[in-house]
Amino acid sequence: MSDEGVYQMVPVADVFLLKDTESGEFVGIDMAWGENVLNADGAAQVLDMLKANMDSTPWLVTAVSRAERAQAKTGGETGRGDDDGHDGEGD
């Protein structure tokens, strides 16, 4: 993904960090599939693509840069950290 203006972003899932309610530690991740994922095969294809992209440094840089640009536009947080004293660093 060298130029995000060339691609259409199709929403496929909402992604959630799972947090232990007792310890406050993040313990995993879960996804709520959206209407564009029609069946288990589609979900598997999305996860396969995600897994492949997670091994791609250029993709990771693009994803992080997108988050940084979103933060700069809003002048605020992008979801890192929470109100329990964790700043997201090292969590």
Q: What is the pTM of this model?
A: 0.65
Range of the domain at 35: 9-74
Residue 81 lies in a domain: no
Residue 87 lies in a domain: no
Residue 4 lies in a domain: no
| pLDDT interval class at 79 (50, 70, 90) | low
Q: Which H, E and C letters describe the chain, residue by residue? A: CCCHHHCCCCCCEEEEEEECCCCCCEEEEEEEECCCCCCHHHHHHHHHHHHHHHCCHHHHHHHHHHHHHHHHHHCCCCCCCCCCCCCCCCC
The tens digit of pLDDT for each residue in 7-24 reads 898 999 999 999 999 999
What is the total count of domains within the chain? Answer: 1
The tens digit of pLDDT for each residue in 19-58 reads 999 999 999 999 999 999 999 999 999 999 999 999 999 9
